[in-house]
């Protein structure tokens, strides 16, 4: 049995997060180039590319897993997931050892996914609770006795 998985049906769009991933990577690389050095910009860019590709591969695997029968693909998903972790660790090891990159810049680039997820969640939080505040009873809201939850 195959299911259609819509990752954009919830309030937070995965496509939006992926766009922010690349946007944050580009902005941080530009900032690294402007305020630090070309080496810092290159390091941020390499870290961002690694993080973004890893995020995209994880999204693809999760969608494949959720579309199939869960019992049969759960083991395959977990094996692939745990095989990617040491592969990513080895890639980072060789990049750090032989890549002539700034470690700080690489870490900043690797954080692009975390920043985009956090930014998207914050935007959704503000949008959701901003709309709830508008729907509060004005008499309760004026007295400060309303709750956003």
Phi-psi region of 37 (alpha: psi -120 to 50; beta: other; left: phi over 0): beta
Residue 143 has pLDDT above 70, yes or no: no
Range from 47-56, 66-75, 104-113, 118-127 carrying the lowest mean pLDDT: 66-75
Q: Residue 112: name the closest of 23, 4, 33, 3 by CA.
A: 23
Q: What pTM was estimated for this model as a whole?
A: 0.73
Q: Flag whether 37 is in a domain.
A: yes
Q: Flag whether 148 is in a domain.
A: no
Q: Flag whether 27 is in a domain.
A: yes
Could you tell me which residues come within 8 angstroms of residue 11 by beta carbon, excluding any fewer than 6 positions away?
Answer: 124, 127, 128
Range of the domain at 47: 14-139
The pLDDT score that the predictor gives to residue 7 is 56
Q: Flag whether 56 is in a domain.
A: yes
Q: Flag whether 19 is in a domain.
A: yes
| Total domains in the fold of the chain | 1
For residue range 82-108, list pLDDT tens digits in order. 888 899 999 989 988 887 888 899 999
Residue 6 has pLDDT above 60, yes or no: no
Q: Residue 102: name the closest of 24, 55, 49, 38 by CA.
A: 38
Q: Flag whether 97 is in a domain.
A: yes
């Amino acid at each position: 049995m195959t299911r259609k998985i819509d990752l954009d049906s919830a309030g937070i769009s995965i496509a939006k997060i992926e766009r922010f991933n690349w946007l944050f990577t580009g902005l941080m690389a530009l900032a690294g180039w402007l305020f630090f050095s070309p080496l810092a910009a290159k390091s941020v860019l390499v870290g961002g590319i690694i993080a973004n590709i890893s995020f995209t591969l994880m999204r693809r695997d999760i969608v494949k897993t959720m579309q199939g029968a869960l019992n049969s693909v759960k083991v395959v998903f977990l094996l692939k997931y745990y095989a990617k972790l040491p592969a990513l660790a080895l890639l980072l090891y060789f990049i750090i050892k032989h890549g002539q990159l700034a470690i700080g810049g690489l870490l900043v680039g690797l954080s692009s996914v975390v920043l985009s997820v956090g930014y998207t969640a914050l935007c959704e939080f503000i949008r959701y609770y901003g709309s709830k505040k508008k729907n509060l009873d004005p008499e309760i809201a004026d007295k400060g006795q309303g709750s956003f939850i």
